[in-house]
Amino acid sequence: MDKRFTFAFALAFATVQSFGAVYYVATDGDDNAAGSKDKPFASLNKANAVVHAGDTVWIRGGIWFCCRIIFWNGTNHAAKDA
């Protein structure tokens, strides 16, 4: 029973991940990079500017200093200085 559940969960997770792009953001990234795991973006604002519905953004570990307000609704890709 456990093996079937694990397989079903893994299959469902892989299916969900296959429909959208995956982007990465890291404290040592570069906003001119591709946003891949090896070449992540540097800011959440850059990720917010390129994502579409169904995409995934992974935020890598580190100490983040955020001085801007980030709006994450589906139509507003804007950031506002705090």
- Which CATH number is associated with domain 20-81? 3.30.1910
CA angle 39, 23, 21 (to 5 degrees): 130
Residue-wise pLDDT tens digits, 4-40: 767 666 666 665 555 789 999 999 999 999 999 999 9
The more confident residue out of 64 and 76 is 64
Q: Report CA torsion sign: 53, 54, 60, 62.
A: positive
Claim: this prediction has a pTM higher than 0.75: no
Tens digits of per-residue pLDDT, 37-53?
999 999 888 998 999 88
The residue among 55, 57, 53, 56 whose CA lies nearest residue 41 is 57
Mean pLDDT for 56-66 is: 86
